[in-house]
Amino acid sequence: MKTKFMIMMVLILVGAGAYVGLKSFRSPHEGHEHGTAESKKALYFCPMHPNITSDKPGRCPICGMDLQKADEAAPEGAKKEKKLLFYRHPMNPKVTSPTPAKDEMGMDYIAVYEEDVTEGGASDVSGRASFPLSKEKQKLIGVTSTQAVLRELSYDVRASGKVAFDPDLFTAIEEYRQALQSRDQMKKSMFKDLKEEADQTVSSSETKLKLMGLVETQIQALADKKTDPMSLLLPKGKVWIYAEIFEYEISGFKQGQTLEAEAPSLPGKTFSGTVSSISPVLNAPSRTFRVRGEVPDPDRVLRPDTFVNVKIKMEFGKRLAVPLDSVLHSGDNSFVFVVKDQGTFEPRMVKVGVKTQEYYEILSGITDGETVVTGANFLIDSESRLRNALKNIQQQSTGENR
């Protein structure tokens, strides 16, 4: 019995010694391991303002949105702090600031860190300008969208005009006819100088007629004596309409376009015709071009020199287009917000072309079928609207809990 007791005591002492020995050979770092759940810190950030971060839940001090939880922080020993380089304009990466700032529309500049800069030194901004927005927040702000597609673009140019009464044109026509007769007579002359002078007179008269609105075919018809000069002043059953078109609207005008005229003195009556000619010379004081149109008037109710309101339809065919309120302008640049997958919005620089009453033609920047935000100005006041909406929801929730 005594022997068994001694054996048990020896075994206990050997076991205790082995345990102490193993403890003494353990790594000194094993007693305080990194990466445990207690040592890891959660990081929260604002989806609209990624530079706003916190180690606990809360709301963004700028827009009031709930901070979203990012991936768990890396162990402190392996964590590397980001180095802030500068802040850049959200729409124009070339514009930067050393301190936080806002652009012309009130949008916050985006923080650019050292890791966001490529090896070549250029900032990789393609993804930095994008931001997520949940469906709930889109609903609170009132975000709507549409697709950029090919559309038939057209618009009406409206201008003031009058029924032609042009004695100067009649005089110019007579001068041209006389110049033609003189040149015909000089063909048999022996004097070369007289022939050249007659040719110059005819050329000058043709130029004058062009400046007054006649086209090549009309002038040629006068030269061939196939047209009665009076028909160019008072065509049978028709009248001439002079419309003054501003220089920024003249692009795209051509002969044969549809023209409508309404006279205040004849309410309810519309006279439809076509554009006959366009003056090549700008009227400097008014910055307008004279467009000459021809409209039927069999009853002769349009009196010479009567004022009329003219409408000319401009048609451009199918063009890639988006609604007017989808395009925002910042200085010389234009941009839209493209809706990507999972509620991500990407500001995209675009080049616009024709502007109609409803649409902008898009020359470059987006492609057919891409979805863009309509009413894109929501970003200007979205912060205040979202803050107020969240505040109201919070107040309602507090009231219900009471």
pLDDT band (50, 70, 90) for residue 33: very low
Torsion of CA 394, 396, 398, 402, to 10 degrees: 180
Instruction: Judge whether 42 and 34 are in contact, CB under 8 Å.
Output: no
What average pLDDT does this structure show over 122-139?
56
- Inform me whether the pLDDT recorded for 240 exceeds 70: yes
Instruction: Judge whether 252 and 361 are in contact, CB under 8 Å.
Output: no
More confident of the two residues 209 and 49: 209
CA pseudo-torsion sign 378, 379, 385, 391? positive
At 321, which amino acid appears?
Answer: A
pLDDT band (50, 70, 90) for residue 81: low
pLDDT of amino acid 164: 81
46-50, 264-268, 340-344: which range is least confident on average? 46-50
Q: What is the pLDDT of residues 166-180, one digit of tens each?
A: 667 777 777 787 788
Give the rounded percent of residues in the chain with a pLDDT score beyond 90.
Answer: 16
Q: What is the pLDDT of residues 269-323, one digit of tens each?
A: 999 999 988 888 888 899 999 898 889 988 888 888 889 999 998 888 899 999 9
Domain 144-151+318-384 has CATH 3.40.190.10: no
Structure tokens at 170: 């009649």
**pTM for this entry:** 0.50
Q: Where are the domains of the chain?
A: 144-151+318-384
Highest mean pLDDT among 20-34, 91-105, 118-132 belongs to 91-105
More confident of the two residues 5 and 122: 5
Q: Where are the beta strands (DSSP E) in 105-186?
A: 110-113, 131-132, 144-147, 149-163
pLDDT band (50, 70, 90) for residue 46: confident
**d(Cα 325, Cα 359) in Å, to the nearest integer?**
8
Instruction: Judge whether 303 and 266 are in contact, CB under 8 Å.
Output: no
- Inform me whether the pLDDT recorded for 77 exceeds 70: no
Structure tokens at 241: 């309409």
pLDDT of amino acid 335: 85
pLDDT of amino acid 234: 62
- Inform me whether the pLDDT recorded for 120 exceeds 50: no
209-213, 302-306, 359-363: which range is least confident on average? 209-213
